[in-house]
Amino acid sequence: ASNAIAAGMMLSASFSLVSEGIALDEDNAMILGNPLSHAMRVGAGMAAGMGFVVVTKSWVEGFEDLKLGDITGLDAGKILLIMSVMTLHSFAEGLGIGVSFVGKGGSQLGAFISASLAVHNVPEGLAVALVLVPRGVSPLKTLAWAVCSSLPQPIVAVPVFMFVEHFEPWQSAGLGFAAGAMLWVACFELIADALKEMTLPAFSFSISFSFAGMMLISSFIDVATAHAT
């Protein structure tokens, strides 16, 4: 059931990233004389994200003797792929943190956005654990992997804040990239594995429950942040 639950969480996170990217205020960006909406940038980012995962998966599968600690072969490659995607997801969130600190009231808004993403990191860390532990990763190493997957948030936020005029137009594309990568992994890795291990009713219940639970948590955080600001 761990793969189905993790897949539901990743699908929810992907939906949230796409929604966030499309809802950004339009900045009148142009390409070849034509307006470039955030929806178009999100779509392009998603396609690039999926392409990135396909290329990365193909590259990783070329190393048959790949080893991560005591884990080798296919499981090691799958762990590396999933951790790469979760880390990319944190890069996109770090971009959002950096942008949120700019402008009037930016310090307050940025603080609340940072706090909300910090809370989001808890179920996302759980999703990482649900993938790693069943594949033989120790609890201590799983904790380290989960923490490392979120480290890009503060690392990326600082340069984005300093050079926001260069990064802001790419925020929606970055969110789309992370969403596309997570969507591909959820559908073609975790769901595929879950369907091999579970009956269809059990799978449907597990993925629906985790998706709805994650969406409920996200909605609660968004409402709380909106009231606070």
> pLDDT digits over 127-161, tens only?
788 878 887 788 888 888 888 888 888 888 888 77
Whose CA is closest to 219, among 227, 29, 188, 159? 227
For the record, the structure tokens of 2 come out as 């761990």
Percent of the chain with pLDDT over 90: 9
Whose CA is closest to 41, among 137, 215, 174, 132? 174
* Mean pLDDT value of segment 166-194: 83
Do 89 and 150 touch, CB atoms closer than 8 A? no
Do 217 and 122 touch, CB atoms closer than 8 A? no
d(CA 55, CA 57): 5
Tens digit of pLDDT for each residue in 65-109? 666 666 666 667 777 777 878 787 787 778 777 776 765 555 666
d(CA 123, CA 195): 22
Exposed e or buried b per residue across 28-59, where buried means at least 16 C-beta atoms within 10 angstroms of its C-beta: eeeeeeeebbbbbbbbbbbebbbebbeebbee
What pLDDT, on the 0 to 100 scale, is given for residue 164? 64
Mean pLDDT in the chain?
A: 79
| Helix ranges restricted to H, the chain | 2-22, 38-61, 73-100, 106-132, 139-150, 152-162, 164-167, 171-185, 191-197, 200-228
Does the structure show a pLDDT above 70 at 12? yes
What pLDDT, on the 0 to 100 scale, is given for residue 225? 60
What pLDDT, on the 0 to 100 scale, is given for residue 111? 72
For residue 188, CA distances in Å to 73, 77, 86, 162 come to 18, 14, 15, 38
